[in-house]
Amino acid sequence: DVVMTQSPLSLPVTLGQPASISCRSSQSLVHSDGNTYLNWFQQRPGQSPRRLIYKFSDRDSGVPDRFSGSGSGTDFTLKISRVEAEDVGVYYCMQGTHWPPTFGQGTKVEVQ
């Protein structure tokens, strides 16, 4: 299975400041169809996961534009341009290029 490695695992943030989470895969996530199936999910405390980003950079409907995804091959990044209080939670990357789909360990974002 493809191993997804996130860093950092804990991210203290300052409200209004940018934040960035890294995700690395053990294999390239470029599919034979040319797409890169890398998703980002947010899980607020006590809630279900919510998909923020699909195909490494496409934002889901209703997701604030302060969230952006970038990267290629095996290295990907989720950026929050200005952190708001509602962004506290755990963020997961997930690959869907290779079977089975696999998730990173999660990055806990908390206000410092």
86: three-class secondary structure by DSSP: helix
**Hunting for tokens 């939670």 — which residue is that?**
89
- Scanning 17-25, 48-56, 69-77, 78-86 for contacts with another protein by CB under 8 A, the matching segment is 48-56
Backbone dihedral angles phi then psi of residue 85, each to the nearest 5 degrees: -60, -35
85: three-class secondary structure by DSSP: helix
* 103 binding another protein? (CB under 8 A): yes
User: Which of 25, 41, 76, 80 is close enough to bind another protein by CB under 8 A?
Assistant: 41
Chain centroid to CA 82 = 16
8 A C-beta contact, residue 58 and residue 67: no
Closer residue to another protein in complex, CB, 16/61:
61
Closest contact distance (angstroms) between CB of 16 and another protein is 29
Closer residue to another protein in complex, CB, 78/94:
94
* 36 secondary structure, DSSP code: B
Which residues contact another protein (rule: CB under 8 A)?
37, 39, 41, 48-51, 54-55, 58, 60, 92, 94, 96, 99-106
